[in-house]
């Protein structure tokens, strides 16, 4: 039997603010347990929350980048449930007045996956279970999150992965989160049900919680779709429940019931005033957004004329794209700049992480100085690559490796005199060339390359040599 | 008449008495009387004496604030760094906060001398202070009767002269009603006028800290000292009251428009009714204009209050799970079981009742019928108050429908007890300020309180009217004999 | 949404017709949500009391029609974006303060998963 996948994804993203959402404690990762804490984030009796402005700003950035409508009026609600990692026994979140609503992400196919809403909320603390004891660390308690809820528009495992990948890229680009799935700063919950093609009704859905890598999203969707199909094929019914994806066995299994029922008794938090963000502010935030990744990709291909493959390699990483564009701004050529980044700089970076960080020891201006030498044919591309490698290793500018006199040595006049020298030094070879033994020209090439340390433009030299020999 | 804050401040400045001597006099009185009255549940004599020494130093240096060196008390739900703060609940047994409430921070900086923490209904839920895990405080005027609640210990301490003034909190009448039962003055300020930071929450949208004192002037001085916006409480407001409130009490009330709403007088004990009517006559005879007004939505104020307060309480009290502070049960089979046992053993009946009601009105299927409708009616009540204050400067009403109950008075049901808050809760719902001043005694000699209600941030007018009444009405209740004798 | 304030009073007076009595099972469900447990005897007493409290609260339910509207008031206080807290780090409290009301372990809060 064939089924249609109906899938929606809820994504929690940790915002890269300096302080927590309701207190001034640092959000810095790590730290000794319970050292990034205060009365507010440990739920001390009598403490009160004060909303962080940056959290609202970042959530609006996310909303604008995902084509959402921004609610200029918004408020915080309490979501009540008791669990040891939640010190107030309620999570301050947003229920019926989220900051952003009704956006979308466009897939490569042109299909749009709707974004239902984006709201802000606080993270919980961390529990460690060990030999009959539970240890609790509230350092993460109160770290700001946005929750991005998609419409159930996703209909394949590939689409699920693409959606999450694009979301991650956009969030990283606008600088509101590092979105590291392994470290938990981006976590996905997948809702999935099956239905017969053409059936307007939804089937019973399950929720797979806390998936922590992009490829697992794809695998989990496949595994769960298969599991549900097997049940339906056998005439059974799917039970609505919370599931867990096990990467080891590539299977989806029901999670131990988290005791709580799902009656969260949401109500507006009386400690936090409703807040408004006027249109002017929203516009200000919109203007502060960088060019979004997929707009950039299009521009790289259509305006800059990069190949799709090269453009995709550069646009993926915000820091790389910035470096690329800064180099162009210094007057370097598109082709050589892109080429040197993709071939030479990337060869020094093994992981995605390194490309993401793009910690290199030279500035765009220094890089441009090198590229321009290649652009002006003062050095050939091979020399540019090897020089760049030396620059990257030492952090030193191009002048350290290519002296002005080196460049003078291969100016047009210098090259011409070098060619004459080569002919004078190899009269036999010159005669052979004159007599039609074309290969003999290689002797002169060898002479010139040796003298210039490989810096001469060999095609120019060939033209000159032939001219001189004919004279 | 015992000395008020102002008189004591003068004596301290004239070196007629030192802050240490004054404090010792109160300590002696507390040691003598508190075992019988049970106004204090935690005493801080050592720190009080140290604070008094510092106060004497401040006084010597000159330019000390009015409250410097004056011994006082705090309700047990106001956080004090390193000093037990238990809300008179077993679940917060031995709890010592590691930070000060904003009000205590302010008073401490002004040289206040804290004698101890006062008794109250568990988590401020009650009207008699009998739900305290330490047993009820007794009404100093007649120890067979309750103090009222929930700030019963704060009222009793002031009444028995075991503190010059105290702070209480008022969610549905918890400052004004015990003030009326004990024959002292109690001010519930405008919601937001005083920071709630460090006040252990009951109903967050209703809770407000305020003073209990022996005179309107004392209440004004204390309110002056604790009011003001606070960055740590977003619901607080830095309202500009102009000059010191204590200094503008003597303004004339001629032409003041005083509203009287019949809804406040329905079902009120006749003795109380006649005393309030007499007070209204006094205002009228002195040039005030009496306006008969209507507040129809008031009839629903009581259930609206219980729905909203309990909804918020059910959420606010979820955090008492035995993990980070307070009581933890001794044996259990799992963490969930630990939490359930801790809460079931740690909370008293009234608190459980209100948590359950709050859970109910917020639960799915009932939210619209109860919580949401209560919020809508709250809006209606606000609108009615707004409209009334277009034409009136203050409203006058009884503080409570009855005088103090006998101890262990078992009503027919919890609801009957809830009815005693009928005159005070509308004020919390609307977030407006109100004061209770003594205005007579019933046939058993128990004090009766009159409530004067103002518009939002209209404390100056409320205090002015109350002060006028207090000064003109003469001796309306008997003096309390005993206490510190200063 | 409101019938009118005059009718409000009338509605309040009309109270008495109770919509629902609460069952013991429902009380148990609420207790589970509230993380409370009651003995059988307590449960009996509580159910009876609760019935009356709910009846009291019901006057609110019956006083107005509707109740599905937004509950935000038009003139409720609001705060503007500019008045929200700036994202500036304030030193946290030392660990021994945070743990001052319990017995911790190596800086952690600690709970035995069961205890006899
Ligand atoms: Mg969430
Ligand atoms: Zn904190």
Q: Is residue A348 part of a domain?
A: yes
Is the domain of A113 the same as that of A149?
yes
Assess whether A168 and A232 both reside in one domain: yes
Domain for residue A165, yes or no? yes
Q: What is the pLDDT of residue A356?
A: 83
Tens digits of pLDDT across chain B (486 residues): 588 999 999 999 999 999 999 999 999 999 999 999 999 999 999 999 999 999 999 999 988 999 999 999 999 999 999 999 999 999 999 999 999 999 999 999 999 999 999 999 999 999 999 999 999 999 999 999 999 999 999 999 999 999 999 999 999 999 999 999 999 999 999 999 999 999 999 999 999 999 999 999 999 999 999 999 999 999 999 999 988 888 889 888 999 999 999 999 998 999 999 999 999 999 999 999 999 999 998 889 999 999 999 999 999 999 999 999 999 999 999 999 999 999 999 999 999 999 999 999 999 889 988 999 999 999 999 999 999 999 999 999 999 999 999 999 877 778 888 888 999 999 999 999 999 999 999 999 999 999 999 999 999 999 999 999 999 999 999 988 888 876
pLDDT for A404: 65
pLDDT digits (tens, 9 = 90+) for A92-110: 999 999 999 999 999 999 9
Q: Has residue A307 been placed in a domain? A: yes
pLDDT-derived band at A380, boundaries 50, 70, 90: confident
If contacts are CB pairs under 8 Å, which of residues 58-117 in chain A contact chain C? 73, 75, 82, 84, 96-97
- The C-alpha of B249 sits at a distance from chain A's nearest C-alpha, in angstroms, of 33
Instruction: Evaluate if residue A86 carries a pLDDT over 80.
Output: yes
Does any domain span residue A325? yes
> Strands A73-74 and C109-112, how do they pair?
unpaired
Give the side-chain half-sphere CA count within 13 A for A125: 31
In a shared domain, residues A271 and A329:
no
Q: Which residues of B touch C64 (CB under 8 A)?
A: 373, 376-377
Cβ(B323)–Cβ(A95) under 8 Å?
no
- What's the pLDDT score for residue C9? 33
Does residue A222 share a domain with residue A342? no
Query: In angstroms, rounded to a whole number, what is the distance separating the alpha carbons of residues B184 and B211?
Result: 10
Could you tell me if A328 and A375 lie in one domain? yes
pLDDT given at position C72 = 55
C chain contacts of residue B314, beta-carbon cutoff 8 Å: 34
Predicted pLDDT at A259: 43
The more confident residue out of A360 and A164 is: A164
Domain that holds residue A336: 291-402
Active site residue B443: no
pLDDT of residue B313: 98
In chain C, which ranges are E strands?
78-80, 109-112
**A422 and A366 in a common domain:** no
* Domain final residue, candidates A282, A312, A343: A282
CA distance A13 to chain B (A): 26
Say whether B475 is catalytic: no
Give yes or no: B150 in active site. yes
Domain ranges of chain C: 5-63
Among A282, A311, A327, which residue terminates a domain?
A: A282
> Which residue from A115, A103, A33 is spatially nearest to A68, judged by alpha carbons?
A103
Q: Inform me whether the pLDDT recorded for C74 exceeds 70.
A: no
Distance B171 CA to ligand 2 centre (A): 27
Whether the pLDDT of residue C10 is over 50: the answer is no
Are A173 and A305 part of one and the same domain? no
pLDDT value at A405 more than 80:
no
Is the residue at A50 inside a domain? yes
Based on the domain organization, do A297 and A267 belong to the same domain? no
Position A256 in a domain: yes
State the nearest Cα–Cα gap between C63 and chain B, in angstroms.
Answer: 8
Q: B137 exposed, middle or buried (CB, 10 Å; 0-12, 13-18, 19+)?
A: buried
At residue A261, does pLDDT exceed 70? no
Which positions in chain A touch B336 (Cβ < 8 Å)? 259
Distance A288 CA to ligand 2 centre (A): 29
Q: Indicate if A249 and A334 belong to the same structural domain.
A: no
**A20-59: pLDDT as tens digits:** 999 999 999 889 999 999 999 999 999 999 999 999 999 9
User: Are residues A241 and A100 part of one domain?
Assistant: yes
The CA A91 to ligand 2 mean position distance, Å, reads 14
pLDDT higher than threshold 80 for residue A456: no
Give the helix ranges, DSSP H, for B2-109: 5-13, 19-37, 45-61, 102-109
Q: Which chains touch A (3 or more CB pairs under 8 A)?
A: B, C
Contact yes or no for A11/A164 (Cβ under 8 A): yes
Is pLDDT above 70 for A351?
yes
Chain B touched by C10 (CB under 8 Å): no
A39 chain-C contacts, CB cut-off 8 A: 93
pLDDT, one tens digit per residue, over A65-75 is: 999 999 999 99
- Please name the chains neighbouring C, where neighbouring means 3+ C-beta pairs under 8 angstroms: A, B
Is residue A140 situated within a structural domain? yes
Tell how far the Cα of A78 is from the centroid of ligand 1, in angstroms: 11
Q: A356 and A253, same structural domain? A: no
Q: What CATH number has the domain bearing residue A438?
A: 1.10.10.410
Answer with the one of A402, A431, A450 that is the final residue of a domain.
A402
Separation of alpha carbons B160 and B186, rounded Å = 15
State ipTM.
Answer: 0.94
Looking at the domain assignment, is residue A407 inside a domain?
A: no
| Residue A361 CA neighbour count, 13 Å, CB half | 12
Q: Which residue of B has its CA nearest to A260?
A: B336
Averaged pLDDT, C1-28: 51
C-alpha distance from residue B7 to each of A70, B61, B67, B74 (Å): 59, 19, 11, 22
**Chain C contact present for B36, CB below 8 A:** no
Q: What was the pLDDT predicted at A398?
A: 84
Q: Could you tell me the distance, in angstroms and rounded to a whole number, from the CA of residue A169 to the centre of ligand 1?
A: 21
Probe site for chain C from A15, A18, A23, A24 (most C CB atoms < 10 A): A24
Size of interface B-C (CB pairs under 8 A): 153
Q: Which tens digit of pLDDT belongs to each residue from A120-136?
A: 999 999 999 998 999 99
CA distance C31 to chain B (A): 7
Q: How many domains does chain A have?
A: 3
Strand order in the sheet with A133-137: A126-130, A133-137, C109-112
Question: What percent of chain C has a predicted confidence (pLDDT) above 70?
Answer: 73
Assess contact for B90 and B346: CB atoms under 8 A.
yes
Shared domain check, A217 and A269: yes
Residues of A in contact with C26 (CB under 8 A): none
């Amino acid at each position: 039997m064939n089924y249609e996948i109906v899938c929606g994804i809820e994504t929690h993203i940790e915002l890269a603010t300096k302080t927590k959402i309701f207190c001034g404690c640092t959000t810095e990762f790590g730290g000794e347990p319970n050292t990034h804490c205060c009365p507010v984030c440990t739920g001390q009796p009598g403490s009160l929350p004060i909303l962080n402005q940056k959290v609202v700003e970042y959530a609006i950035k996310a909303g604008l980048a995902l084509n959402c409508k921004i609610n200029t009026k918004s408020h915080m609600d309490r979501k009540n449930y008791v669990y040891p990692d939640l010190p107030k026994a309620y999570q301050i979140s947003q229920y019926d007045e989220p900051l952003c609503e009704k956006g979308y992400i466009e897939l490569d196919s042109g299909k749009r996956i709707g974004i239902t809403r984006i709201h802000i909320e606080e993270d919980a603390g961390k529990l460690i279970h060990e030999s009959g004891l539970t240890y609790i660390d509230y350092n993460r308690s109160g770290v700001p999150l946005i929750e991005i809820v998609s419409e159930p528009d996703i209909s394949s495992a590939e689409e699920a992965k693409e959606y999450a990948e694009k979301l991650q890229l956009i969030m990283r680009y606008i600088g509101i989160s590092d979105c590291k799935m392994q470290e938990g700063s981006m976590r996905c919950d997948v809702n999935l049900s099956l239905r017969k093609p053409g059936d307007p009704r939804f089937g019973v859905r399950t929720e797979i919680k806390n998936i922590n890598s992009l490829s697992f999203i794809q695998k989990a969707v496949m595994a769960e779709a298969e599991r549900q199909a097997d049940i339906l094929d056998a005439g059974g019914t799917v039970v609505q429940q919370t599931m867990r994806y096990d990467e080891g066995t590539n299977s989806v299994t029901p999670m131990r019931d988290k005791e709580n029922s799902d009656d969260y008794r949401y109500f507006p938090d009386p400690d936090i005033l409703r807040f408004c963000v006027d249109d002017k502010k929203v516009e200000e935030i919109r203007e502060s957004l960088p060019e979004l990744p997929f707009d950039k990709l299009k521009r790289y291909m259509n305006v800059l004329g990069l190949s799709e493959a090269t453009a995709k390699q550069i646009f993926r990483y915000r820091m790389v794209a910035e470096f690329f564009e800064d180099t162009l701004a210094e007057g370097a050529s598109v082709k050589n700049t892109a080429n040197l980044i993709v071939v030479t700089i990337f060869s020094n970076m093994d992981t995605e992480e390194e490309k993401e960080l793009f910690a290199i020891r030279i500035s765009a201006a220094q890089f441009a100085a090198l590229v321009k030498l290649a652009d002006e044919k003062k050095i050939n591309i091979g020399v540019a690559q090897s020089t760049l490698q030396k620059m990257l290793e030492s952090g030193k500018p191009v002048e350290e490796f290519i002296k002005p006199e080196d460049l003078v040595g291969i100016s047009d006049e210098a090259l011409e005199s070098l060619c004459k020298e080569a002919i004078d030094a190899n009269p036999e070879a010159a005669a052979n060339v004159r007599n039609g033994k074309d290969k003999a020209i290689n002797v002169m090439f060898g002479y010139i390359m040796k003298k210039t340390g490989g810096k001469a433009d060999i095609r120019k030299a060939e033209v000159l040599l032939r001219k001189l020999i004919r004279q | 008449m015992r000395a008020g804050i102002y008189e004591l401040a003068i004596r301290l400045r004239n070196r007629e008495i030192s802050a240490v001597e004054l404090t010792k006099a109160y300590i002696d009185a507390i040691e003598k009387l508190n075992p019988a009255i049970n106004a204090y549940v935690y005493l801080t004599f050592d720190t009080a004496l140290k604070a008094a020494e510092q106060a004497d130093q401040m006084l010597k240096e000159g330019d000390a604030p009015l409250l410097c060196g004056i011994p006082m008390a705090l309700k047990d739900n106001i956080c004090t760094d390193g000093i037990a703060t238990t809300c008179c609940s077993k679940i917060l047994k031995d709890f010592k906060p590691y930070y000060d409430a904003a009000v205590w921070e302010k008073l401490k900086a002004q040289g206040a001398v804290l004698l101890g923490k006062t008794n109250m209904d568990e988590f401020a839920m009650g009207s008699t202070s009998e739900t305290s895990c330490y047993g009820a405080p007794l009404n100093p005027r007649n120890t067979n009767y309750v103090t009222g609640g929930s700030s019963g210990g704060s009222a009793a301490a002031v009444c028995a002269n075991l503190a010059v003034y105290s702070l209480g909190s008022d969610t549905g009448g918890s400052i004004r009603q015990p003030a009326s039962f004990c024959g002292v003055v109690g001010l519930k300020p405008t919601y937001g006028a005083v920071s709630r930071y460090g006040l252990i929450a009951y109903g967050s949208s209703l809770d407000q800290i305020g003073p209990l004192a022996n005179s309107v002037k004392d209440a004004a001085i204390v309110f002056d000292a604790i009011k003001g916006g606070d960055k740590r409480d977003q619901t607080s407001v830095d309202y500009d009251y102009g000059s010191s409130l204590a200094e503008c009490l003597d303004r004339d009330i001629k032409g003041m428009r005083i509203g009287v709403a019949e809804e406040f007088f329905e079902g009120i004990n006749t003795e109380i009714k006649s005393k309030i009517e007499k007070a209204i006559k006094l205002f009228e005879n002195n040039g005030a204009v009496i306006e008969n007004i209507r507040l129809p939505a008031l009839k629903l104020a009581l259930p609206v209050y219980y729905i909203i307060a309990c909804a918020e309480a059910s959420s606010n009290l979820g955090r008492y799970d035995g993990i980070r502070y307070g009581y933890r049960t001794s044996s259990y089979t799992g963490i969930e079981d630990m939490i359930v046992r801790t809460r079931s053993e740690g909370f008293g009946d009234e608190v459980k009742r209100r948590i359950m009601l709050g859970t109910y009105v917020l639960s799915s299927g009932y939210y619209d019928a109860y919580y949401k409708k209560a919020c809508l009616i709250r809006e209606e009540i606000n609108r009615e108050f707004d409209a009334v204050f277009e034409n009136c400067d203050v409203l006058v009403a009884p503080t409570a429908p009855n005088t103090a109950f006998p101890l262990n008075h078992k009503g027919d049901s919890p609801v009957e007890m809830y009815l005693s808050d009928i005159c005070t809760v509308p004020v919390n719902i609307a977030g407006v300020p109100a004061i209770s001043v003594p205005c007579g005694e019933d046939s058993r000699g128990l004090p009766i309180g009159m409530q004067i209600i103002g518009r939002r941030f209209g404390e100056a007018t409320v205090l002015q009217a109350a002060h006028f009444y207090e000064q003109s009405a003469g001796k309306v209740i008997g003096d309390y004999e005993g206490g510190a004798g200063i | 949404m409101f019938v009118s304030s005059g009718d409000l009073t009338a509605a309040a007076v009309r109270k008495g017709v109770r919509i629902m009595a609460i069952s013991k099972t429902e009380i148990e469900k609420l207790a589970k949500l509230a993380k409370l447990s009651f003995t059988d005897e307590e449960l009996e007493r509580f159910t009876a009391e609760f019935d009356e409290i709910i009846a009291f609260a019901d006057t609110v339910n019956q006083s107005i029609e509707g109740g599905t509207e937004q509950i935000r008031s038009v003139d409720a206080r609001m705060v503007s974006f500019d008045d929200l807290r700036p994202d500036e780090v304030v030193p946290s409290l030392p660990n021994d303060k945070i743990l001052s009301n319990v017995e911790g372990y190596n800086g952690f809060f600690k709970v035995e998963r069961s205890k006899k």
